[in-house]
Structure 1
């Protein structure tokens, strides 16, 4: 599998580089800069490209013609209601010149999104996965799902496929580390997609991709450094420092479910996070806490407290938001638990901002985030803002698309 590096932003002109590099290298650098500008700021006129790059008018004219011949750029309109002629032409990226796919892999489902070169969603589809289905059948069905979505989107081929999956991604190989807790088809899907669709496949931890989506599209677009806590059936965290996603030596940065915390009856072990932070804030733990406050029956009616997991936890939190004093007491108790993990991360990393993601974080919204922030302020001298994630349940899928899109744009445009 290929490995992905989250790209940083650049606004540097390369006009000076063109004076020292060989003509072919200078052309490639200038073309790449223009393509990234058209992607980020376009459509643009030749004059606007000249101003943004610092290149001469003849160089821009040659550049635009080269890019039009590649099929990546086309005239998409004119600037100004009264203007006409070459100087008024607006140039833009040809969005359907390349396509990518993002895949969100869960234990009970697979979701796919196909997008064009500008990241616009064209098709989304999903597939439920029963626990007793033969893994080989699940892999084949997932590959067929991606193929069908690409066909519906009109994509002759996919330039890259990004996959978000639970588990550790080996930084050395980019592969999903083997673990008995994950279905075997998780580890087989990436290879099957690569072989079946003849496209490069990029694999990343699901929580890391949710953090990418929140930074690029959601709650922390104004932050270079933050942590995201994934609060759902399972627990995890993603760490972004100075716009760089940190994975750790073994890919385990953010395995906060194993964090020893007060309030549990045992300690976690190398093979189980029972007794760690997971035992306080996982989906099952949230439902148990809600039951103590008399909220589960209100959330589930006659079904009672039998269900667990992220869906059940999301339901009880939504019920708590309108349950008066009982709901307030439950939300405050849950916030105090979540604050233990946030305060521990802050004591080590001092990120300044924590995002509550996953189904629980999304359901709790600003109300839960504000309570957590208040509790963290009492536990830590380090000022930390706590925000609710806003990308929603599709955050992993959005992050997977962004990962595939970055790789495709870097391949076609050159690294920014």
Structure 2
């Protein structure tokens, strides 16, 4: 049955427009998923009438989102059937991560195919100036690709309450107590989605990473301190104040004699890489430092295991790339708890957060350009760089 067939003849112009957009989205969705389709094939899959499909394809062509391609050779009498394809480069989206020490950027076309990714160290520390510089980086990078930027997803670090007010942020101290989404959106000439960096990493895992088909999981972030994202029954749980998962804020752990004060604000890579290398060379002090941090991280993750009882624990963050740390964390968890969920390291390396931002931008771009009803987007992992989680095409 076609969307909206039950609407009365008194439907308003706005309702009719919504109906057209919804049917356009259905047509675009099946073409995007399949590659090339005829009107008859689209009508069969969507269960829309052929006249409706024809009209909606014209709308999509007028918008530059669908194009006619060479017709099939006729089989028997009659004209060849025209096929339609989705125009992936009708626009591009960007995912931007404004990390404390590093900024990361990725561009994809409308089919989720990576066009470029990169990262750079943070050199500007005033919040507003840094945002303006990051927005310029996005703009000039898009221009260098020669494509039209249509939407940006921006992931920012720091605890935000449900209203988007920054409760705390070590990276953007000037924004504490302010609504962050309007600040970020004002820096860009296109629509912007703003989300917490941990929520962005969780989205990447939920859509196309270790947590696909998992409803309850946690994503501990291992870096100079430990925090975590929580998904319960498929929904991100930020808590009443947005602080859920900020494990490092326990004052009793800060004061514990078992942990040295400098372990609470541990350095990020490359300093930790140096510690790992030093331990491998026989440095007992480096080994002791790794032991202390791993014990602290494991004890905090154990809280999540006991309270959330997740199906899986996905380790993220700069320090999760070090087997010397991950092995210690897992061993301590297994020694201290009767049951531990499977622990895996994210396949996206340090780009999970920016990938989640790009996914959010893709979803928003589809609704902007086509209408509501498109399926959640994925990035094409066969075209994603191996360094950030790309997969080779499966052999047939």
- Pick the TM interval, shorter chain: 0.7 to 0.9
Does 1:266 pair with 2:255?
A: yes
Distance 1:414 1:24, change over 3 A: closer
**1:345 aligned residue:** 304
Does 1:107 pair with 2:100?
A: yes
**2:140 aligned residue:** 148
Cα distance, 1:392 vs structure 2: 0.9
**1:271 aligned residue:** none
**2:342 aligned residue:** 385
Deviation per CA, 1:361-388, whole angstroms, max 9, x where unpaired?
Answer: 1222xx8656644543444444511111
- 2:81 alignment partner, one of 79, 82, 87: 87
Alignment check: 8 A CA contact 2:104 2:351 kept: no
Deviation per CA, 1:7-54, whole angstroms, max 9, x where unpaired?
Answer: xxxxxxxx3543213565443322222223333443444344334322
**1:182 aligned residue:** 172
- 1:46 alignment partner, one of 16, 39, 55: 39
**1:410 aligned residue:** 367
Alignment check: 8 A CA contact 2:151 2:192 kept: yes
How many residues align? The count is 364
3-state SS of 1:35 partner: helix
Distance 1:352 1:332, change over 3 A: farther
Distance in 2, Cα, partners of 1:276 & 1:29: 59
**1:363 aligned residue:** 322
3-state SS of 1:215 partner: helix
Alignment check: 8 A CA contact 2:254 2:264 kept: no
Q: TM-score, length-normalised on structure 1?
A: 0.72
Does 1:220 pair with 2:177?
A: no
**1:194 aligned residue:** 185
**2:68 aligned residue:** 75
Cα distance, 1:241 vs structure 2: 2.3
3-state SS of 2:32 partner: helix
3-state SS of 2:159 partner: coil
Distance 1:53 1:377, change over 3 A: farther
Distance in 2, Cα, partners of 1:122 & 1:49: 29
3-state SS of 2:112 partner: coil
Distance in 2, Cα, partners of 1:86 & 1:240: 50
Distance 1:310 1:61, change over 3 A: same
**2:199 aligned residue:** 208
Alignment check: 8 A CA contact 1:175 1:203 kept: no
Distance in 2, Cα, partners of 1:311 & 1:341: 24
Alignment check: 8 A CA contact 1:71 1:94 kept: yes
Deviation per CA, 1:316-372, whole angstroms, max 9, x where unpaired?
Answer: 3466679799999987776554332222112211111001110111222xx865664
Structure 2: 5+ residue runs without aligned partners?
Answer: 374-396
Distance in 2, Cα, partners of 1:27 & 1:17: 9
Distance in 1, Cα, partners of 2:34 & 2:233: 23
Deviation per CA, 1:163-213, whole angstroms, max 9, x where unpaired?
Answer: 1121112321x3434557634389899666634532233222212212212
Distance in 2, Cα, partners of 1:232 & 1:368: 11
Alignment check: 8 A CA contact 1:229 1:237 kept: yes
Cα distance, 1:255 vs structure 2: 1.0
**1:32 aligned residue:** 25
**1:117 aligned residue:** 110
Alignment check: 8 A CA contact 2:275 2:286 kept: no
Distance in 2, Cα, partners of 1:218 & 1:415: 25
3-state SS of 2:160 partner: coil
**2:152 aligned residue:** 161
**1:234 aligned residue:** 225
Cα distance, 1:118 vs structure 2: 2.1
Distance in 2, Cα, partners of 1:180 & 1:327: 26
Alignment check: 8 A CA contact 1:350 1:382 kept: no
Structure 1: 5+ residue runs without aligned partners?
Answer: 1-14, 268-274, 285-307
Higher helix share: 1
3-state SS of 1:223 partner: coil
